[in-house]
A and B are shown apart, each in its own frame.
Chain A
Amino acid sequence: MTAVATPQQPRLGRVARVRGHLGLHTVVIGLMVIWAIPTIGLLINSFRPAAEQTSSGWWTAIVPPYQFTLENYAHVLSQQDIGTNFLNSLIISIPATVIPIFVAAFAAYAFSWMEFPGRDALFVVVVGLLVVPLQATLIPILQLFATWGIAGSFLAVWLAHTGYGLPFAIFLLRNFMGSLPREVFESASIDGASPVTAFFRLALPMTVPAIAALAIFQFLFVWNDLLVSLIYIGLINPENLPLPVSIANLVTSIGGGSEFLGAAAFLSMIVPLIVFFSLQRYFVRGIVGGSVKG
């Protein structure tokens, strides 16, 4: 607020700012409400008996008589193998998140800061692989896994999820690493730092927000995946199957049981939300700016 010409202007400015803030909060809270309503509807319904869920709207439950019940949650948690499947989900999801981040970071660094022939063409091919439909890969890959004897193992799905997640991971990280200022790497190189040092001490720390975002997405995709696990694990080792199988199986072959899906959805969301909240602190301003200076 410099260069004030007349005494009135600051006052006008403040009014405008207050009005601006009001507008800001209205838009933000408005969007939050729109986004939250569908989920709130499901959340409330997940605490209502099946007959109520289908015969009256969820909003009727927020006034008496409440008729809330924990039965849907109890039914979901009483499912056979749900504990084992939950553990399997963690065992599958953590490495299937960590491996692609490393592999993609190496590749993204090479694509951003190393010179080699065909770099752009190769990069476009990598990103283009995003469009390969997963379903088209299932049969040839299962064939290979069967030949190698790893069908049904966790290793099979770790590798598969890594492969499927890499195009996006490389695309995202290349974008963030590529936008770092050139001077940083040049001065590091002059100081005698090897590419490995530059990668771990500069490139990685400066892309932490992007890595956190990637970790969240990759974790989510793997956590919610049903098809990949079902095909690569389910045929051989059903005891290694993850949580989504338990959830999908709440609905019976003739179509009953959909009243439990809401409860199951919220139980299954807990872990991804923990991951989101714990990684959210890496979305802070200044990591990049600070690193550049340091």
Chain B
Amino acid sequence: MSRKPFRLFAALLPMAIVIAACQSSASQSPAGSQEPGASAPSGGEEVTVIGTWTDAEQESFLAMVAPWEAETGNTVKYQGTRAINDILAAGIPTGVLPDLAGLPGPGQMAEYAAAGALKPLDDVLDIATYESETSPALVELGMVDGTTYGIFIKAAVKGLIWYNPGLHDYSADPPATWDDLMSQGEANQGDADALWCLGIESGDASGWPATDWIENILLRQAGPDVYNQWWAGEVPWTDPAIKTAFETYMEVVDNTYGGGTNAVATKFDLAGDPLFTDPPGCALFHQASFITGLGEFANQTAGTNYNAFPFPAFNDQYATAVEGAGDLFGMFHDTEAAKSLMRYLVTAEAQDIWVQRGGALSPNSNATSYPDDISALMGGMLTGADSLVFDASDQMPTSMNAAFWSNMVTLTAGQQTIDEALERLAGVAVDAYAQ
């Protein structure tokens, strides 16, 4: 009888044998190079990297660093995870940090730099070359008080309007103004249920596609200056310019497949799928460049089944402004190997590798080996824009950003009016910008 509890553990014993068995087979795999000093090539230093890229993106990043590894004999130990925010929030106060890491956003970058955790890159990078090859807006974004702390390895263009050329081909005469877009769109809507497709569900980040809408409208209605002052907290939420942008957005919601309820219930990556149904659910879909790798877009052919044109102007004065976004990357330990890898990552040679593999735009204007015309167009928009601004919500204090996302959900679902939303956001701003 007293042996019964031991039988309980005996039940776990077969597992131990499984582990032991698998272990001996695993030890024959090349993964053995993790042992420090064991048969490492000369150079032999290890750079630990944590980033948000997983799966296919992780493969692209590893392909990107492979030439550097071959050249220097160092190795990159990469861990991908989307929980980068949690990891760094725990890592910064404790000092347990990787050598290099993706950063959640410009706000956190400034915070980590102020805490002394992030290392300045001015003496690490060849700054002159870096600045000459990279769009000034992106260089600026990597800076805290004039010192560079973050670089972009991969970027995206926001404010693209996607359509199905099978319904109507806009490529010969893309709408130049919003009014032009509305009249052309309605004239060529055909069998489509509604003019627009919209989906803003994104788990814990739900609402961001709607903030992109507001940003792209505001940027072209009120211009880059108002845009930049707005995210910085200098133009209040209750400003008429902001309200006008919200009103334009709500007109879009009213003309959306399934209405606001469907927009809130639909995952952003699948929101454009009704473009491809027969009859189509909608004729137009606004989303960033990375949509081509998601949902039904991933199964369709660029140029033939889908195409895009830039967000049209509201005001001729701001016709060439473009909104971009990207993943910041910083350095926590300034070992020689880490510095060498940082230097390598910003080069056109390195960034071209990912560009070629698809799914990324390069912030480096000399990395142009895009696999298709649409990617090349988008890459050109990013590096060639007269006035490139960065995703506004990503630059707001995180609590402001979260409230912006969340209030866009409530607004789109029809659970609050524009004025109520702006009042609430103004209330959050008092607290958010105070810190």
Instruction: Give me the interface of A with B, judged by CB distance under 8 Å.
Output: 51, 54-55, 79-80, 83-84, 87, 90-91, 94, 97-98, 138-139, 142-143, 146, 151, 200-201, 204-205, 208, 211-212, 215, 226-227, 230-231, 234-236, 238-239, 241, 245, 248-258, 271, 275, 278-279, 282, 287, 290-291, 294
Contact = CB atoms under 8 A, between A and B. Distances in A.
B1 A282 contact: no
B8 A279 contact: yes
B19 A254 contact: no
A256 B293 contact: yes
A205 B50 contact: no
Contacts of A84: 26, 31
A97 B16 CA distance: 13
B2 A139 contact: no
A256 B293 CA distance: 7
A212 B293 contact: no
B90 A83 contact: no
A235 B91 contact: yes
B11 A278 contact: yes
A247 to B, nearest CB: 10
- State the 6 A-B residue pairs at the shortest beta-carbon distance, nearest first: A238-B79, A249-B54, A253-B52, A201-B2, A143-B94, A204-B5
Contacts of B67: none
Contacts of A98: 9, 12
> Is the interface on chain B under 10, 10 to 19, 20 to 34, or 35 or more residues?
35 or more
Interface string B43-55: 0000010101111
Interface in B315-372: 327
A79 B15 CA distance: 23
Contacts of A94: 12, 15-16
B87 A239 contact: no
Interface in B170-213: 202
Residue from B11, B31, B50, B52 having most chain A Cβ neighbours under 10 A: B11
Contacts of B22: 83, 87
Interface stretch (B106-114, B294-302, B387-395, B406-414): B294-302
B168 interface: no
B298 A151 contact: no
Given A215-B8, A256-B269, A250 B299 contact: no
Given A90-B15, A139-B93, A253 B86 contact: no
5 contacts: A208-B5, A235-B87, A245-B81, A252-B53, A253-B52
B4 A287 contact: yes
B2 A248 contact: no
Contacts of B294: 254-256
A238 B90 contact: no
A68 to B, nearest CB: 18
A252 B80 CA distance: 9
B2 A87 contact: no
B83 interface: yes
Given A51-B299, A54-B270, A254-B294, A235 B97 contact: yes
Interface in B57-98: 57-58, 77-83, 86-87, 89-91, 93-98
Contacts of A90: 15, 18-19
Contact of B82 (A139, A251, A271): A251
B83 A226 contact: yes
A87 B90 contact: no
Given A248-B81, A249-B80, A87 B8 contact: no
A248 B203 CA distance: 14
Nearest to B12: A94
A187 to B, nearest CB: 15
Given A84-B26, A151-B96, A251-B55, 20 more contacts: A54-B270, A94-B16, A142-B96, A200-B5, A201-B1, A204-B5, A205-B1, A208-B4, A211-B8, A227-B83, A234-B79, A235-B50, A235-B90, A238-B50, A238-B77, A254-B290, A254-B294, A255-B202, A256-B293, A294-B1
A236 B99 CA distance: 10
Contacts of A227: 83, 86
Nearest to B89: A139
B299 to A, nearest CB: 6
A163 B158 CA distance: 46
Contact of A248 (B83, B96, B97): B83
A51 B83 contact: no
A90 B81 CA distance: 21
B327 A253 contact: yes
A282 B19 contact: no
B399 interface: no
B34 interface: yes
B273 interface: yes
A249 B1 contact: no
A55 B272 CA distance: 12
A291 B89 CA distance: 52
B285 interface: no
A223 to B, nearest CB: 12
B38 interface: no
A230 B87 contact: yes
B435 interface: no
A142 B8 contact: no
Contact of A252 (B26, B55, B89, B96): B55
Contact of A251 (B1, B54, B79): B54
B156 to A, nearest CB: 8
Given A54-B273, A252-B55, A256-B269, A204 B19 contact: no
A254 B77 CA distance: 22
B1 A291 contact: yes
B333 to A, nearest CB: 12
A234 B56 contact: no
Contacts of A91: 19
A200 B2 contact: yes
A231 B87 contact: yes
Contacts of B93: 139, 143
A248 to B, nearest CB: 7
A83 B26 contact: yes
Contacts of B290: 254
